[in-house]
Structure 1
Amino acid sequence: MRIGLQVPKFTWDGGPAELGRTFGRIARDADQAGLSSFWVMDHFFQIFGRPDLDMLEGYTALAYAAALTEKITLGTLVTGVTYRHPGLLVKTVTTLDVLSGGRAWLGIGAAWNEDEHRGLGVPFPSTAERFERLEETLRIAHRMWDGDESPFEGEHYRLERPLNVPQALSRPHPRILVGGGGEKKTLRLLARYGDACNLFDGPDKSVIPHKLAVLRGHCDDIGRDYAEIHKTVLSNLYLTREGTAGGSAGESPAQAVERLARLAELGVDEVIVNSRVVATPGVFDLFAEVAQGLEGVVPAGR
């Protein structure tokens, strides 16, 4: 089982003048601790707390992290389909993949934050249209990463020549994570076009197996091998050396390994964690122990 890190908040000691150094240190430490993946949200307003708290643009932040790391994979969790024209989005992720040596993800979803759309003047179509745009964007991504330059004619997007040079280093393409657990649309699109899912680690542990069963059904419907899909879950992790009762009160590395390993029993391949102590010097020594502890945990079905 693997562990990844999402960094959703950027309000740290020192303010904006120190933000780059702190963020860079977090990325380097996560890489050196043996974490599998490094993620930022793709939002323009902060969604945790007040919207006017610090928020970095996702792909610029990932490009900065790419220059400071060597092995860890890099992605947004997740890009709203409405934020960028699909041709430019594929070019952006391809550039990240090339410059990072083949470590980029395309994390994408149907978008939801109407306030930041309206605040920045980005059109916010209906839910039905956003999902239509999501499917067209996924089709365009596959076409561009296949090297197909023929015109694309969709309902919402028209590309006369979807040229993409240089091509991505990842083969057959940067992995596509489709965020969300909607059973009729999101998981269906994931089964057809995606390489990974991302579900939420909530208190009801029956939800994840149910969502994965729905995903398996969509795969069966189209003849897709369900085992090909990388199953990820977003969770929280507050690490301390001693630990206490676990959860929000703090967990030791051993307690964290025990809790996260139970997700593997549900069929989860990778847990991506948020941590409120991520900027604390020395905390990645504890993360390294968790990563090492999970190395021998085999997800159910693998």
Structure 2
Amino acid sequence: MKLGLHYWNYSTPADSAQIAPTLARTAQLAEQAGISSFTVMDHYFQMEFPPATAEEPMLEGYTTLGYLAALTERMTLGLMVTGVMYRYPGLLAKIVTTLDVLSGGRARLGLGASWYEREQRGLGVPWVPVAERFERLEETLQICLQMWSENNGPYQGQHYQLAETLCVPAPLSRPRPPIMLGGGGEKKTLLLVARYADACNLFGTGMDEVAHKLAVLRTHCSTEGRDYEAIEKTVMYSRRPVLTQTDEFLAELAQLAALGVTEVQLTPEGHPAQYVEKLAQRIIPEAAEIS
């Protein structure tokens, strides 16, 4: 089982001057310990999930990943997940391409329909109905795939029109940066995974729920003529504090592996660098043996 680290909180330590060195130290420790992927959020305000508040520190995601690309060598880098309303799709493809080239082919495009109304209204991002956000999500997927293909021609969609889809240099990843869709919406998100994506990311709210979502994905794959086994299954884990309940967590990793999950993302508890050091001691060697 691969483990990813999802760096979602910049509040520890409290001094803003320590954000960069703490982030750097955490990423380098994570890579040394064998963490497979490093993700940050695509938010501009911190999420309002108690005890977190919107006023807490938050960094722009792709700038942060560019910083990390220069400090690491092996880990996959991406946002969990890019909000579809925050960047025009053609520019997003270029941003991810830039990250891929500068990181030596380590970019992953995580993408979702976006949801944080306060953040979007606060910063002047158009707030549109959820149905339209999913329409834009599908067009964004189509545009990115065309930008990363041999087709440099126009794209004509309902929401986006591109006169040409030139993308030079091309990504270093082959055949292109992998695309991961985040969320477990059964009618829209998982259908788009089956239709376009290389990976899905589900919330690890419980084994039965993950198993159900994967069954829905399998059904969509059958309908779309897609090989279900070709899609990587990943889970964002949030059920229990893993450092103090190690045996239970490892048992749940084994259950997830039996469902076909190959990567689980963890969120730091407390000081992020110290969290990774403890992961390296207590979790990562045992997790590597789970398949």
User: Which category describes the TM-score, using the shorter chain as reference length?
Assistant: over 0.9
Gap regions ≥5 residues in structure 2: none
Q: Is the contact made by 1:26 and 1:278 (CA closer than 8 Å) also made in structure 2?
A: no
Structure 1 residue 36 corresponds to structure 2 residue 36: yes
Q: Indicate the percent of aligned positions where both proteins have the same amino acid.
A: 51
- Cα deviation for residue 289 of structure 1 reads 4.8
Structure 1 residue 233 corresponds to structure 2 residue 197: no
- 1:79-131 deviation digits (Å, cap 9, x = unpaired): 11000000000000000000001100100011111111100001011111111
Question: Which of 209, 221, 224 lines up with 2:211 in the alignment?
Answer: 209
User: What does residue 53 of structure 1 align with?
Assistant: 56
User: What does residue 287 of structure 1 align with?
Assistant: 280
Q: Is the contact made by 2:179 and 2:199 (CA closer than 8 Å) also made in structure 1?
A: yes
- Cα deviation for residue 249 of structure 1 reads 8.1
- Cα deviation for residue 290 of structure 1 reads 2.2
Aligned ranges for residues 1-302 of structure 1 at < 5 Å? 1-47=1-47, 48=49, 49-202=52-205, 204-236=206-238, 247-248=240-241, 250-251=243-244, 253=246, 255-281=248-274, 283-287=276-280, 289-298=282-291
- Cα deviation for residue 225 of structure 1 reads 0.6
Gap regions ≥5 residues in structure 1: 238-246
- 1:169-196 deviation digits (Å, cap 9, x = unpaired): 1111101001111111110011010011
Query: Following the alignment from structure 1 to structure 2, what is the Cα–Cα distance between the partners of residues 288 and 63?
Result: 28
SS in 2 for 1:4: strand
Q: Which amino acid aligns with 1:218?
A: H
Over 3 Å counting, the alpha-carbon distance change for 1:283 and 1:27 in structure 2 is closer
Query: Following the alignment from structure 1 to structure 2, what is the Cα–Cα distance between the partners of residues 249 and 15?
Result: 27
Q: Is the contact made by 1:148 and 1:162 (CA closer than 8 Å) also made in structure 2?
A: yes
- 1:116-147 deviation digits (Å, cap 9, x = unpaired): 11000010111111110000000001101013
Over 3 Å counting, the alpha-carbon distance change for 1:127 and 1:252 in structure 2 is closer
Task: Give the total of aligned pairs.
Answer: 288
Q: TM-score, normalising length from structure 2?
A: 0.94
Q: Is the contact made by 1:33 and 1:285 (CA closer than 8 Å) also made in structure 2?
A: no
SS in 2 for 1:182: coil
- Cα deviation for residue 282 of structure 1 reads 7.0
Q: Is the contact made by 2:117 and 2:127 (CA closer than 8 Å) also made in structure 1?
A: yes
Q: Is the contact made by 2:201 and 2:233 (CA closer than 8 Å) also made in structure 1?
A: yes
Query: Following the alignment from structure 2 to structure 1, what is the Cα–Cα distance between the partners of residues 181 and 134?
Result: 12
Over 3 Å counting, the alpha-carbon distance change for 1:288 and 1:42 in structure 2 is farther
Q: Which moved more, 1:221-230 or 1:272-281?
A: 272-281
- Cα deviation for residue 278 of structure 1 reads 4.6
